């Protein structure tokens, strides 16, 4: 009760129960804008306050990006957004339907699956891009933000057209010089350019910035001076970017400093940033779960990098501030060709999550090979984690529905560069388009998505659309066939860190923990509880039981969870080694057909884009043969078991 008088007549005194109980129970307040300086947002906040006091109803305040299209015959089309961004998304949807020559809907309401639909750039201040395969950065050069941000504006338009509403502008391996005064002005310019497209920006931080840039003795997250230093920097950032999304933090990972460096918990570290953000609006800390020891001892069969996320984060669920979100890569290792979902997805109930995907094809051919990603993503989205014995599809956890989170969703690493193709390959752009559509609705058919993208990108000719659809839909299984089977991971070069090209020997004999444990007799990681690393036991019971046992583990994840002889028979009836040989031949063969199929499109699309892709697909055809022979010969040399069809080792 406000008896000070400051509230004047706006006391919102509680209605007596007999009156209040006759009023409806409201479920949510939807603000038609999330701009905090708008009177509409003020109205929503005032309603929230008033309803809590007058009716004792604590109601969440939400802004929704959905839209409604009404296109009744002969009448003007109406595009109605639930907020400013919703109107923009509705306009893009209207234009998409026109371009695809589809009927306009009499009435269509569309809402995103999750509020967070962001991209992560891995751009460095010097203009290079970590895992970027399409030229230098469109954001930075020579230590500062570029003067000419034309490409950034064009990028924001692309992101908005598929419903993406946020972007983290710099690499997770962050450089503290981003926070110098000159660069803060640059960040303001980036934010200003992206804002009209409904794309808000956030930044990645380097944990030791107080020491390195601020000249403090320490970066200990519980140190008073460190806390004050981050508070000041945060205020300064908000002066430049008033609607900043918040901070992405990679800490205690791959040699980066973090709270553990100072004997503090991961929650201590995350909460320090969270509290610095709180006075300024709705900013969040995206704290990455990619924390692991990259000097693991392979001689210990209990060691397992796949266990790290749960080991580090278990027990912390209730300890994070409300504006901390844990960002989790889809699999327990690192963007491999096939992984089960990260077990950490089943461990957090109170703390919301962001699911981290990669549009950048880091381990997947780096845009030199075509790999259309939605079929891979679907294996994660549709996976039932059975948390607490209840249906718990990953997509329902991520949307916030399963555990009642109001802020959760998706992030994808998207390393566009200043190449005119953006990602280095025209067909690779289907993955960026698809990412936006999947984050909006993870249940959309991957075939519909690629067909729609092909129409928008190359026109309505059926031969063109069918060819692109066929190549794309075959591309992921094809790449898996020649780059890493049965859950063994992508067998690319990890020793030189290029993550490209075949190098099955590189997986083992180092501390990175992407091991295959291949010897003369047997192969695979024993991740069982009974005899292995115990990783299967990190999943809820029903899932754990399935992965613990060889018979119930699907063939495609067999070597992820089990160490077996090369002569072990799969459910298909083949031995593991014969499957390897056959899959590599099958995959390389299909890769040869991509270039041939593309040839049909000569003259049906412009020469420029035709030639560009023809060259790439021919390259892929050749490189697939290199993959096939390198991997097959490697395992043949290891185990000496002949190929039943006598192909391997006969060159
Ligand atoms: C992978 C990738 C690195 C990146 C890291 C991360 O290991 O190869 O370049 O920094 O993931 O996601 O933090």
CATH number for 153:
3.20.20.80
Q: Is residue 464 part of a domain?
A: no
* Integer Cα distance of 380 and 383 in angstroms: 5
CB of 290 closer than 6 angstroms to any ligand 1 atom: yes
Residue 1 has pLDDT above 90, yes or no: no
Q: Is residue 420 part of a domain?
A: yes
Task: Give tens-digit pLDDT for 435-490.
Answer: 999 999 999 999 999 999 999 999 999 999 999 999 999 999 999 999 999 999 99
**What is the token pair recorded at 332?**
């327990």
Domain that includes residue 578, residue range: 483-525+563-639
For 291-352, the three-class secondary structure string (H helix, E strand, C coil) is: CCCCCCCCCCCCCCHHHHHHHHHCCCHHHCCCCEEEEEECCCCCCCCCCCCCHHHHCCCCCC
Question: Could you give the C-alpha distances from 145 to 6, 152, 309, 435, in angstroms and in order?
Answer: 46, 11, 34, 27
Closest ligand 1 atom number to CA of residue 499:
8
345 in the same domain as 216 = yes
Residue 4 pLDDT > 90, yes or no? Answer: no
Q: What is the domain-level CATH number for residue 505?
A: 3.90.1330.10
ipTM value of the model?
A: 0.99
Supply the pLDDT for residue 8: 85
Contact status, residue 135 vs residue 418, Cβ threshold 8 Å = yes
Query: Is any ligand 1 atom within 6 A of the Cβ of residue 328?
Result: no
Per-residue pLDDT of 254-270, as tens digits, reads 999 999 999 999 999 99
Nearest CA owner, ligand 1 atom 13? 172
Residues 382 and 519 in one domain: no
The answer on pLDDT for 281 being more than 90 is no
| 302 plus 424 within the same structural domain | yes
Distance CA 343, CA 333 (A): 11
Return the SS3 of 194: helix
Mutational test site, ligand 1, from 121, 251, 254, 305, max ligand atoms within 8 Å of CB? 254
pLDDT reading at 650 higher than 90:
no
pLDDT band at 76 (very low <50, low <70, confident <90, very high): confident
Give the distance (Å) from ligand 1 centre to CA of residue 362: 9
The residues, ordered by sequence, that sit 6+ positions from 337 with a Cβ below 8 Å of its Cβ are 363, 364, 376, 476, 479, 480, 483, 484, 489, 490
Q: Are 86 and 209 found together in one domain? A: no
* 401/490 same-domain check: no
- pLDDT at position 73 is 78
Among the atoms of ligand 1, which is closest to the Cα of residue 329?
A: 12
Tell me how far the alpha carbon of residue 331 lies from the centroid of ligand 1, in angstroms: 13
Q: Is the domain of 328 the same as that of 418?
A: yes
Is residue 423 included in any domain, yes or no? yes
Q: Is residue 452 part of a domain?
A: no
Q: Is residue 342 part of a domain?
A: yes
Spatial separation of the C-alpha atoms in residues 370 and 430, rounded to whole Å: 10
431 within domain boundaries: yes
Look at the block and give the residue holding tokens 């918990």.
265
How many domains is the chain partitioned into structurally?
Answer: 4
Q: What is the dihedral of CA 278, 324, 387, 512, to 10 degrees?
A: 180
Where is average pLDDT lowest: 7-21, 132-146, 199-213, 459-473?
Answer: 7-21
Give 77 Cα–ligand 1 centroid separation in angstroms: 46
Q: Are residues 144 and 85 part of one domain?
A: no
Domain shared by 304 and 209, yes or no:
yes
Tokens matching residue 381: 């989205």
Closest C-alpha to 113, from 393, 370, 305, 312: 393
Q: Is residue 153 part of a domain?
A: yes
303-350 pLDDT, tens digit per residue, is 999 999 999 999 999 999 999 999 999 999 999 999 999 999 999 999
Who contacts 423 (Cβ-Cβ below 8 Å, separation ≥6)? 133, 134, 359, 360, 367, 414, 415, 416, 417, 429, 431, 432
Residues 170, 249 share a domain: yes
**253 CA → ligand 1 middle, Å:** 9
Q: What is the mean pLDDT of residues 576-587?
A: 98
Tokens of 529: 């509880």
Q: Let me know whether 330 and 269 are in one domain.
A: yes
Pairing state of beta strands 246-249 and 144-145?
unpaired
Q: Which residues pair with 639 in a beta bridge?
A: none
123, 131 Cβ separation under 8 angstroms: no
Pocket flag, ligand 1, residue 250 (CB < 6 Å): yes
Element spanning 110, H or E = strand 107-110
CB-CB neighbours of 509 under 10 Å: 10
Structural domain includes residue 158: yes
Q: What is the pLDDT of residues 374-431, one digit of tens each?
A: 999 999 999 999 999 999 999 999 999 999 999 999 999 999 999 999 999 999 999 9
**Pair 134, 191 in one domain:** yes
Q: Residue 74: pLDDT above 80?
A: no
User: Is the CB of 131 inside a 6 Å radius of any atom of ligand 1?
Assistant: yes
Residues identified as active-site? 254, 334, 362
Using the 3D structure, point to which of 45, 63, 81 is the last residue of a domain.
63
What is the residue with the minimal CA distance to atom 1 of ligand 1?
334
The SS3 assignment for 91 reads helix
Label residues 228-260 b or e (16+ Cβ within 10 Å = b). ebbbebbeebbebbebbbbbbbbbbbeebbbbe
Pair (253, 285) in one structural domain = yes
Q: Which of 383, 417, 444 is the last residue of a domain?
A: 444
Q: Could you give the angle at the alpha carbon of 46 between the alpha carbons of 44 and 47, nearest 5°? A: 65
């Amino acid at each position: 009760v406000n008896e000070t008088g400051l509230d004047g007549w706006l006391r919102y005194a509680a209605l007596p129960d007999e009156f209040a109980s006759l009023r409806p129970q409201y479920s949510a307040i939807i603000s038609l804008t999330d701009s905090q300086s708008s009177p509409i947002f003020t109205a929503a906040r005032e309603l929230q306050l008033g309803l809590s006091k007058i009716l004792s109803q604590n109601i969440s305040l939400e802004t929704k990006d959905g839209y409604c299209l009404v296109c009744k015959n002969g009448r003007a089309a109406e595009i109605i957004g639930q907020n400013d961004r919703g109107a923009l998304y509705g306009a893009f949807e209207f234009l998409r339907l026109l371009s695809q020559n589809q009927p306009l809907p009499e009435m269509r309401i569309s809402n995103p699956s999750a509020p967070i639909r962001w991209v992560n750039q891995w751009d460095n201040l010097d203009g290079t891009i970590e895992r970027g395969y399409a030229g230098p950065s469109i954001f930075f050069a020579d230590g500062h933000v570029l003067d000419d941000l034309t490409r950034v504006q064009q990028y924001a338009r692309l992101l908005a057209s598929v419903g993406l509403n946020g972007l983290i502008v710099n690499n997770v391996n962050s450089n503290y010089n981003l926070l110098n005064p000159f660069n803060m002005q640059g960040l303001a310019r980036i934010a200003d350019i992206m804002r009209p497209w409904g794309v808000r920006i956030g930044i990645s931080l380097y944990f030791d910035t107080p020491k390195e840039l601020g000249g403090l003795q320490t970066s200990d997250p519980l140190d008073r001076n460190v806390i004050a230093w981050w508070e000041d920097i945060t205020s300064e950032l908000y002066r430049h970017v008033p609607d900043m999304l918040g901070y992405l933090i990679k800490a205690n990972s791959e040699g980066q400093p973090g709270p553990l460096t100072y004997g503090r918990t991961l929650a201590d570290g995350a909460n320090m940033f969270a509290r610095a953000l709180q006075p300024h609006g709705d900013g969040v800390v995206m704290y990455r779960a990619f924390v692991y020891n990259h000097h693991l001892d392979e001689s210990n069969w209990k060691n397992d990098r796949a266990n790290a996320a749960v080991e580090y984060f278990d027990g912390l669920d209730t300890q994070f501030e409300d504006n901390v979100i844990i960002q989790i890569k889809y699999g327990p290792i690192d963007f491999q060709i096939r992984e089960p979902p990260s077990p950490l997805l089943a461990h957090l109930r109170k703390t919301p999550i962001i699911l981290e995907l990669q549009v950048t094809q880091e381990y997947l051919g780096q845009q030199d090979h075509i790999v259309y990603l939605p079929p891979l993503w679907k294996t994660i989205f549709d996976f039932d984690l059975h948390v607490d014995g209840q249906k718990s599809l990953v997509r329902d956890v991520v949307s916030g529905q399963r555990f009642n989170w109001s802020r959760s969703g998706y992030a994808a690493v998207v390393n566009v560069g200043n190449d005119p193709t953006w990602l280095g390959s025209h067909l690779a752009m289907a993955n960026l388009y698809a990412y936006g559509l999947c984050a909006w609705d993870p249940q959309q058919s991957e075939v519909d998505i690629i067909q729609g993208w092909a129409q928008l990108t190359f026109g309505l000719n059926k031969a063109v659309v069918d060819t692109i659809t066929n190549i794309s839909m075959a591309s992921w299984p094809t790449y898996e066939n020649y780059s890493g089977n049965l859950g063994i991971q992508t067998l690319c070069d990890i020793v030189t860190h290029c993550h490209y090209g075949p190098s099955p020997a590189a997986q083992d004999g180092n501390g990175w923990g992407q091991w295959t444990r291949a010897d003369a007799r047997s192969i695979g990681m024993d991740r069982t509880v009974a005899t292995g690393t115990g990783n299967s036991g990190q999943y809820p019971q029903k899932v754990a039981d399935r992965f613990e046992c060889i018979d119930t583990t699907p063939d495609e994840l067999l070597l992820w969870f089990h160490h077996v002889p090369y002569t072990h028979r799969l459910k298909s009836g083949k031995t593991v080694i014969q499957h390897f040989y056959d899959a590599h031949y099958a995959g390389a063969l299909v890769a040869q057909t991509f270039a041939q199929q593309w040839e049909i499109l000569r003259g049906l699309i412009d020469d420029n884009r035709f030639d560009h892709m023809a060259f790439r697909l021919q390259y892929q055809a050749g490189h697939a043969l290199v993959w096939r022979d390198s991997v097959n010969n490697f395992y043949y040399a290891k185990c000496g078991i002949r190929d039943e069809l006598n192909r391997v080792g006969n060159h």
